[in-house]
Amino acid sequence: MQGADPRTPEQIDSFVDAFYERVLVDPVLAPLFLEVAQVDITEHLPRIKAYWRKMLLGESDYQRHMMRKHREVDARQPFADEHYERWLFLFEETLTKHPLGAQTERASELARRVAGNMRQNLKRFRALT
């Protein structure tokens, strides 16, 4: 039910699946996810889905600290501005094709905030180490 309010976890899960289908074949992001981070997508997707369900639906099944994992990846290969920009571009484009109803703008704002905070925190952490 495209464009409906994401009142169910399945609607958000479907969006995340569509987003990661694009990320994992993207020439900028796929190497970072698959080669550098060596993401096991079968473990990663349920976590990411839980994160977005928490952020958009208020569910409490996501209890991880995302910065620790991203710091580990950043230590292997620093995230570049192009990584954040490409991630946001694909996120926004996926939202256009798979809108989340009344939560679409909120998801977009959260994605921009997540990317901005991560960029700032990782740069700061790199400067301290």
pLDDT in tens, 10-38: 889 999 999 999 999 999 999 999 999 99
Predicted confidence at residue 27, as pLDDT, reads 98
pTM, to two decimals: 0.89
Q: Which residue has the higher pLDDT, 129 or 48?
A: 48
Q: d(Cα 47, Cα 17) in Å, to the nearest integer?
A: 12
Predicted confidence at residue 7, as pLDDT, reads 60
**Which one-letter amino acid corresponds to residue 25?**
V
Mean pLDDT of the chain, nearest integer: 91
Q: Does residue 104 have a pLDDT over 50?
A: yes
| φ, ψ (nearest 5 deg) of residue 30 | -55, -45
Q: Report residue 3's pLDDT band, with 50, 70 and 90 as the boundaries.
A: very low
| φ, ψ (nearest 5 deg) of residue 48 | -65, -40
Predicted confidence at residue 64, as pLDDT, reads 72
